[in-house]
Chain A
Amino acid sequence: DAGVIQSPRHEVTEMGQEVTLRCKPISGHDYLFWYRQTMMRGLELLIYFNNNVPIDDSGMPEDRFSAKMPNASFSTLKIQPSEPRDSAVYFCASSPGTKVWQGDQPQHFGDGTRLSIL
């Protein structure tokens, strides 16, 4: 059973460039979450989707950030233009929703994308 798959694992780019992070959730999961982790701010929820529809994007830092989920098996987080302060590890997670009540765990995380903006 494949877990949440994120790509790329590492990204280094120059300030001002567009960055696209990708996520493939676990098949059958209804919810998808994007997080950002830094030493200063810890693990922050940016946005989450239910059945491909964005539910809460209050954690998105500013208009330079956007997220999409065109289908149940794929999501992107885009930063345009990127800035050095966007450097962080970005995690994607998915949740089986109501199947939590059948013993599944609340959220399954990918291994993250380490983003460095120079």
Chain B
Amino acid sequence: LAKTTQPISMDSYEGQEVNITCSHNNIATNDYITWYQQFPSQGPRFIIQGYKTKVTNEVASLFIPADRKSSTLSLPRVSLSDTAVYYCLVGDPRSSYKLIFGSGTRLLVRP
């Protein structure tokens, strides 16, 4: 499974847009990019998944450039409740449903 690299931590303020970038230089052709969010004392929670270009849902957007060696999770207008750890994962869901979590990015949203 491809290894990912993301910033250890980020700070933001309420109402701002937050962009978290993840590098996955060795991503394979069949790999998808998935983001999870984890609050203290809870299990990780799925945010968004994509293969190429842009994916948007009610929570976030995922931008994937043509070479797919990186991806950016965009959280519009964050609130205090978005303070959490965000994990970027890559893998081929058609061959394995195994997920390998890295260190994640600890996002702190300030008032």
Contact = CB atoms under 8 A, between A and B. Distances in A.
Interface of A: 4, 31, 33, 35, 42-45, 48, 56, 91, 93, 95, 97, 100-101, 105-112, 114
B97 A45 contact: no
Given A91-B43, A109-B44, A111-B42, A45 B103 contact: no
Contacts of A97: 97
Interface residues of B, number: 19
B45 interface: yes
Contacts of B81: none
B85 to A, nearest CB: 9
A22 B103 CA distance: 26
Nearest to B46: A105
Mostly helix, strand, loop or mixed at chain A's interface? strand
A106 B43 contact: no
Interface in B7-59: 34, 41-46, 49
A4 B43 CA distance: 10
B41 A48 contact: no
Nearest to A114: B41
Contact of A45 (B41, B46, B87, B99): B99
